[in-house]
Amino acid sequence: MQNIGAVNEKGGKGEKSSLKSRLLAVDVDYSIYAVVIALVLFGILMVFSASHAITGRSARYNFDTFFYLKRHGVMAVIGFLCMNIMTNFPYQMLKRFALPSYLVSLGLLLFAVTFGIVSHGAGRWIPLPFGLQFQPSEVAKIALILTLASIISRNPTILHKWVGFIICGGIVGVMAAFVALGNLSTAIITAIIGGGILFIASPHIWRFVIVGGAGVGGIVGYLAFMAYFAGDAMGGQFRGGRFLAWQNPFEYMQGYGFQIVQSLYAIASGGLFGLGIGQSRQKTFLPEVHNDVIFAVIAEELGFMGAALLLILFGILVWRGLYIAINAYDTFGALVAIGIILMVASQVAINVAVVTNTIPNTGIPMPFISYGGTSLIVSMGAMGVLLNISRHSKKSS
């Protein structure tokens, strides 16, 4: 597994010229391009469907039915531009930005915790003009992917020994720790991305079994401590309350279990084919309905079939992404592709698991679907990088 995408990377003039000619000759993976556009357009529709009833009746949104639709639409256009720019930007040039992006991301994360906006128990937003907000943890995921891919591609045997494993693990750990200062759930996603890249690149599986088992055990232990022993000053009410509500949401439906109960009601009422677009009944009760729990509205309005079709589209995206990684021209491209796919797949899996109460409630948006400008733009930009990697395929040699 550690040899995925590995090729001769000596970088002579002849190789660079050959690579440039292949870049000009090979088309991008249009199946990924089509799926991403379909997901984004569907996301715009569902954000409007989920939010219009609330924004149209609230002075907070100036009684504007199209409040979130307009904002999300603008972000989608920016994301589309970013995706097309990155599709034509040679991904190998990103190597030189790997370490600077890592350091800048750490600085932005620290700035967000110190001076940012506290939202839903997480101080992770940097305010911008025109009422917009920036979420540095989204950029941090990409920075981590580029940094690990750069280090491993330059030092192919670094993970063969414990020293290299500890160094790379420390890079993941530091980034995840800085993200955790503002948001624990996003830190878990960050750790999954970094750990997944190291797992793919490493020849030693048992190291990940040990570290992964310890990590999962530590998270469960932490949540249990917060639920049963920690006081409010330590955050026990927020994280501990969610952990208790996960075990029996109906017992806590007036508090931390409310969102999950309403999500389960929405999924159940959707049935096989759903109530129809715009006909959701639970969206007026669900907190963050246009964001973290939008999948519940999708299941209610489009039913099991609509929700399944959405997950199939994500499945196609993951499949094609893995295909690109396997056939990437070099190790750097292969690992960047793997990291991007891990980023998307892990967020989708956790989002669906939360809405169905499979895991404790946590604020993870569904990529390309949920409202959120930073997430949408970064995700589409990452797809542009993936498309550019598809142009550097060994199949085209």
User: Alpha-carbon distance 147 to 52, whole Å?
Assistant: 41
pLDDT at 207: 77
Burial of 96: CB neighbours in 10 Å, binned 0-12, 13-18, 19+: exposed
User: Alpha-carbon distance 79 to 60, whole Å?
Assistant: 27
User: Alpha-carbon distance 145 to 13, whole Å?
Assistant: 27
Mean per-residue pLDDT over the chain, rounded:
84
User: Alpha-carbon distance 297 to 68, whole Å?
Assistant: 16
Q: Tokens 């603008």, residue?
A: 74
pLDDT at 12: 42
pLDDT at 395: 59
Contact at 8 Å (CB) between 250 and 257? yes
Q: What angle do CA 165, 167, 173 make, to 5 degrees?
A: 100
Q: How confident is the model at residue 22 (pLDDT cuts 50, 70, 90)?
A: very low
What's the order of all strands across the beta sheet hosting 133-134?
117-119, 122-127, 133-134
| Secondary structure (DSSP) of 89-127 | S-GGGGGGGHHHHHHHHHHHHHHHHHHSEEETTEEEEEE
Q: How confident is the model at residue 13 (pLDDT cuts 50, 70, 90)?
A: very low
pLDDT digits (tens, 9 = 90+) for 352-384: 998 998 888 787 889 999 998 889 999 999 999
What's the whole-number mean pLDDT along residues 223-234?
64
Q: How confident is the model at residue 307 (pLDDT cuts 50, 70, 90)?
A: very high
What's the whole-number mean pLDDT along residues 56-75?
87
Least confident of 2-11, 177-186, 312-321, 384-393: 2-11
pLDDT at 20 over 70: no
Strands (E), the chain: 117-119, 122-127, 133-134
Least confident of 139-143, 278-282, 327-331: 278-282
Read off φ and ψ for residue 11, nearest 5 degrees: 75, 40
117-119 and 133-134 as β-strands: parallel, antiparallel, unpaired?
unpaired
pLDDT at 309: 96
pLDDT at 230: 65
pLDDT at 224: 73
pLDDT digits (tens, 9 = 90+) for 170-223: 999 999 999 988 787 888 899 999 999 999 998 888 877 787 788 778 877 877
Contact at 8 Å (CB) between 385 and 82? no
pLDDT at 279 over 90: no
Contact at 8 Å (CB) between 301 and 274? yes
pLDDT at 131: 65
User: Alpha-carbon distance 217 to 338, whole Å?
Assistant: 25
pLDDT at 235: 52
The larger pLDDT score, comparing residue 115 to residue 125, is at 115
What is the 3-state secondary structure of 139-153? HHHHHHHHHHHHHHH
pLDDT at 24: 43
pLDDT digits (tens, 9 = 90+) for 23-61: 444 578 899 999 999 999 999 999 999 888 888 888 888
pLDDT at 358: 87
Those residues whose C-beta lies under 8 Å from the C-beta of residue 262, and which sit 6 or more positions away, are 282, 285, 286, 296
